[in-house]
Amino acid sequence: MFQDRLQQAVARAERSGVPLALVFVDLDRFKAVNDTFGHDCGDALLREVARRIRDRVRESDTVARLGGDEFALILENLSEAEDAARVAQDVQRRLLEPVLLAGDQIPVSASMGIALWPASGRERLLKDADAAMYRAKRQGGNGHRFYTEEMNAQATARLTLERDLRRALQDEQFVLYYQPQVDLSTGRIVGAEALLRWRHVERGLVSPGEFIPILEESRLINSVGRWVLGSACRQGRAWREAGLPPLRVSVNLSARQFGRRDLADDIAGALAEGGMEQENLELEITESLLMEDPETALATLGRLRTELGGVGISIDDFGTGYSSLYRLKALPVQRIKIDRSFIRGVPEDREDAAITAAVIGLAHDLSLRVVAEGVETAEQLAFLRAHGCDEAQGFFFGRPVPAEEFAALLAGNGPGAKDRPR
Ligand code: C2E
Ligand code: CA
Ligand code: CA
C-alpha cells in the first residue's frame, strides 16, 4: 500500500509540479529495548511511535511501517524543503517524550533521512531517503539529514570498495603486520599483535579502520577472519622454526566472528594447520563487544575455554566499553589492554593518569595481566612502570611491521634488551 501511495503521490507531483518529501525514520537502539524489556514491550513501543508520528502529519499524508523499527512518511504539497525538516523535528521532539514501558520511562529517538522530489526521481526517493537516514545514524542518531548528491558519490565509492574487497582475498592482497608487545619487567618482546593490511592495487596500503567495517557489514569478515587466524598461526610456527624465542601471537576478533557458532572449530583448524600450540595464540576481543550482550559473550568465552583451554583471551580497548566490574570478574580472560585514549594523556592529564592507575590496580586484584596500548613516549613508559603495568605496546617500542622485519626485531631480543638504546 505504501508503494502504491508513493507512486500516486509522485504522479500527482509530476502533474502539479509541487514538491514532495519522503522521510525515512529508523529508531535508535530499538534492539536494546527488545532485548531489555522483551518483545511485547517492543511492540507496544512501535505502536506508540506510530501514533505519535501519525498525530503530527496531515490527514492527506501517508505514514507507513516498512518493517522492524523503520517507518516512512510521504509529505505532499510542500511549499518549501524546510517544511519537511520541521515535520522531522516535530516528530523527533514527540518521540523524546518518554514512553512508559514495564514501569520504566523510556525516551525514544530516531534517525531520519529526507529525500525530495524532484531532486530525487520516482525510482530513487526511497533509496535516497534511506541513504540520508544512514548518514544521520552514523552521526549519532537523534537527528535528520537531507539527501545530497555527495551521499550518492560516497555510496558509490563504498560499493567500489566492497567490490574490490571481494577480490582481495583470492588475489592475495591481504597481509598481516606485527607489532611488538613488551614485558616491562624484562624489556623483552613477549608478544606480537597481528594487524591486518590491504595492499590495494591503486591505493597502496589501506588501513583496517577503512575496510574492516565494510568487511563486517558485507559478512566478508568471516572468510577474511579465518585467513587472519590461519596466517597468524603459520607465522608463529615459522618464527619458532627459524629458532627465534617463543612468542605469543595475538589476533583481533570482530563482532561477527565472535558471534559465530563454529568459531572454536575455525580456531582449532587454524592451530592444527599452522602447527601452533594453543598456548601461543591469544584472541583480542573488545570490551564494547563483550558488554553489548554480556550473557552471550560469557557463554561464548566459556565454550572457547572448554574446547581450547590453552588459547589466551584479552579484552581490547579496555576502558571505553563501560564494563560492570562485577561482569569483569566472571569473564574467563587473562589480560586486559588499556585503551590508547587513556595512555595518550598520561602522565599530564590527571584523569587519564588516575584511570590508568586504577585499571592496573583493579586488574591485578582480579589476577589479570595488564597491557598498555599506544605507548609513544618515555614519560608514559615511566608512569606505567611506576604503577606496575605488566606489558606495553606502541610506537615507542615499534610500529606494526611485516613479518620479516618483525623477525629481525625478535632476533635482537636477548637478555638485556631492556637497556638497548631505542
Ligand atoms: P586495535 O586492536 O586497538 O589495534 C591497535 C591499533 O593501534 C593499530 O592500528 C596500531 O597500528 C595502532 N597503534 C599501535 N601503537 C600505537 C601508538 O603508539 N600510537 C598510535 N597512535 N597508534 C598505535 P591499526 O593497525 O590501524 O588497526 C586499527 C584497528 O583495526 C585495530 O585496533 C583493530 O580493532 C582492527 N583490526 C586490525 N587488524 C584486524 C584483524 O585482523 N581483524 C579484525 N577483526 N580487526 C582488526
Ligand atoms: Ca587489538
Ligand atoms: Ca586496542
Ligand 3 (ion): residues with CB under 5 Å are: 316-317, 373
When pLDDT is averaged across residues 104-115 and rounded to a whole number, the result is 92
Nearest CA to ligand 1 atom 27: 208
- Res 292: pLDDT: 84
Q: Is 394 in the pocket of ligand 1 (CB under 6 A)?
A: yes
CATH topology of domain 2-160: Alpha-Beta Plaits (3.30.70)
- Res 419: pLDDT: 46
| CA 355–ligand 1 middle distance (angstroms) | 21
Domain with CATH 3.30.70.270 in the chain: 2-160
Q: Is 254 in the pocket of ligand 1 (CB under 6 A)?
A: yes
> Residue 284 forms beta bridges with which residues?
252, 314
Cβ atoms of residues 228 and 394 within 8 Å: no
SS3 state at 121: coil
Of residues 79 and 250, the one with the higher pLDDT is 250
When pLDDT is averaged across residues 88-96 and rounded to a whole number, the result is 94
Helix (H) or strand (E) holding 301: helix 294-307
**Cα dist from 97 to 28, 49, 94, 221, 282, whole Å:** 14, 10, 6, 39, 46
User: Does the domain at residues 172-411 carry the CATH identifier 3.40.50.150?
Assistant: no
pTM above 0.85, yes or no: no
Q: Is 282 in the pocket of ligand 1 (CB under 6 A)?
A: no
Ligand 1 pocket test target in 175, 195, 197 with most atoms within 8 Å of CB: 195
When pLDDT is averaged across residues 339-347 and rounded to a whole number, the result is 96
Alpha-carbon distance of 422 to 164, in angstroms, equals: 39
Domain with CATH 3.20.20.450 in the chain: 172-411
When pLDDT is averaged across residues 217-221 and rounded to a whole number, the result is 89
Q: Is 215 in the pocket of ligand 1 (CB under 6 A)?
A: no
* Separation of first and last alpha carbons in the chain: 69
Helix (H) or strand (E) holding 357: helix 350-365
